[in-house]
Amino acid sequence: MTKQTKRGTLCVQAGWTPKNGEPRVLPIYQSTTFKYSSSEEMARLFDLEENGYFYTRLQNPTNDAVAAKIAALEGGVGAMLTSSGQAANFYAVYNICEAGDHLVCATAIYGGTFNLFGVTLKKMGIDCTFIDADASEEEISKAFRPNTKALFGETISNPGIQVLDIEKFARIAHSHGVPLIVDNTFATPINCRPFEWGADIVTHSTTKYMDGHAVCVGGAVVDSGNFDWDAHADKFPGLTQPDPSYHGLAYTKAFGKMAYITKATAQLMRDLGSIQSPQNAFLLNLGLETLHLRVPQHCRNAQTVAEYLEKHPRVAWVHYCGLKSNKYYELAQKYLPNGSCGVIAFGLKGTREDAIHFMDSLKMISIVTHVADARTCVLHPASHTHRQLSDEQLKEAGIAPDLIRLSVGIEDVEDILADIEQALTR
Ligand SMILES: *Cc1c(COP(=O)(O)O)cnc(C)c1O
């Protein structure tokens, strides 16, 4: 079979190529263990001398096929599925950071990641400095220290819908000898492939558009294979020095371009164990098969809704990077020329109560703690997902207290508009 590279084809075909007589559809390998005929064969797997399956916490064929599809979509050398997006971001960072290390991160990121980096990693001895992603290269560079190990940002921030200047971030990271990690959840590889702009590691909450139907929580870490860990060997001893838990194997020597993702699987997943269940990987794969059809429909609908809201007399402001009036319009044209995502942030004229009244008046559109699935839904971050942040922290994270996050689904846009219209005029 010739190598397929078009994104739509990869969504449908990548990852699972059955041999003669095997199931056409990716099967769920519902098995924790795998059989070998000799203890010697099994021992070679444990020593990473051979690639193969022995225990689903480390590797499972269903998970591997789906991870391979995501890696192909992003243009990476390998990927690992995790039980959630939170686990993906934690593993992506913890794979190269340990107690005493430091991380630089854009302030405008998902609330869960903000807590993970600012609170939980701190307890583990890893410090994080949050910076304004729109600041100059000089300004952002000031946050770097000798012990800084990574720079982190989101292609499109959740829920602020700020667009990351990935090339600028990559230049900053690389000038300090560290990788750029980009959470590409909202853009998906259909709209943006951060590796093409210099990012080194990509993460996903597959819970969002990739699954797309709100049926399973999951995540993924993807390795571009491009970062030269050996060139900064002193910064990344975990990858370049012998690992005592594998008889002194050094990942960069043994696995080359696959060093980072192999360590994440063979060491972090082995020890921390936030594996995605093969059942969920199967469902995720069904979502991925239509990702290239759903994402453009989300974007078309969101563009129509954003233009409608912008003209509505009851609406105070609309933030959507597909609008010409938007601060991130130019960046979106560069990084997201085919569309950004289905998520719009906006505020109503009036009080916080008016926002809550509007949301309660919606009929088809439901209030749920979710974004980026087929059904249009709405959320008030200040009273839901981000309620643990102070007003000051909310502002820093790019979230106005009156911000309503509208996740536009793939229904007929006329019905979405009609529901919003009746709720606004009630
Ligand atoms: C939802 C989300 C996460 C966390 O993912 P979970 O699957 O909910 O753990 C991380 N990053 C972004 C951008 C998200 O939207």
> Quick check: is 379 in a domain?
yes
pLDDT at 1 exceeding the cut of 70 = no
pLDDT average, residue stretch 75-93: 98
CA separation, residue 257 to residues 49, 227, 403 (Å): 17, 8, 42
Residues 311 and 417 in one domain: yes
State whether 280 and 320 are in the same domain.
Answer: no
Left, alpha or beta for 348 (phi > 0: left; psi -120 to 50: alpha)? beta
pLDDT value of position 385: 74
pLDDT value at residue 318: 96
pLDDT top residue among 323 and 43: 323
Reduce the DSSP state of residue 335 to 3 states and report it: helix
Q: How far is CA 138 from CA 135, 141, 166, 246, 398, in A?
A: 8, 5, 16, 41, 21
Q: If you average pLDDT over residues 94-111, what whole number do you get?
A: 96
Check pLDDT > 70 for residue 2: no
Asked if the model's pLDDT at residue 388 lies above 80, the reply is no
> 287, 313, 328: which is the final residue of a domain?
287
pLDDT (tens digit per residue) in 326-349: 999 999 999 999 999 999 999 999
CB distance 205 to ligand 1 below 6 Å: yes
Residues 347 and 345: their CA atoms lie apart, in Å, by: 7
Binned at pLDDT 50, 70 and 90, residue 169 comes out as very high
| Three-state secondary structure call for residue 55 | strand
pTM of this structure: 0.95
Residue pLDDT, tens place only, 39-81: 888 888 888 888 889 899 999 999 999 999 999 999 999 999 9
Q: Where are the alpha helices (DSSP H) in 249-369?
A: 251-255, 259-263, 270-272, 278-288, 291-311, 329-335, 352-361
Closest CA to 246 of 230, 227, 259: 259
Q: What pLDDT, on the 0 to 100 scale, is given for residue 393?
A: 80
What pLDDT shows up at residue 304? 98
Average pLDDT taken over every residue of the chain: 94
Helix (H, G, I), strand (E, B) or coil at 394: helix
- Segment 199-225 mean pLDDT: 98
- Contact present, 156 and 128 (Cβ < 8 Å): no
Can you tell me which residue has the tokens 């996903």? 204
CATH of the domain at 327: 3.90.1150.10
353 and 409 belong to one structural domain: yes
Say if residue 336 is in the same domain as residue 363. Answer: yes
Ligand 1 pocket check for 184: Cβ under 6 Å = no
Q: Which amino acid is at 129?
A: T
Which of 70, 83, 86 for mutating ligand 1's site (highest number of atoms within 8 Å of CB)?
A: 86
Better-scored residue on pLDDT, 370 or 267:
267
Distance 424 CA to ligand 1 centre (A): 30
User: Is 2 part of any domain?
Assistant: no
Q: What is the pLDDT of residue 370?
A: 84
Containing structural domain, residue 180: 7-287
102 with 153, same domain: the answer is: yes
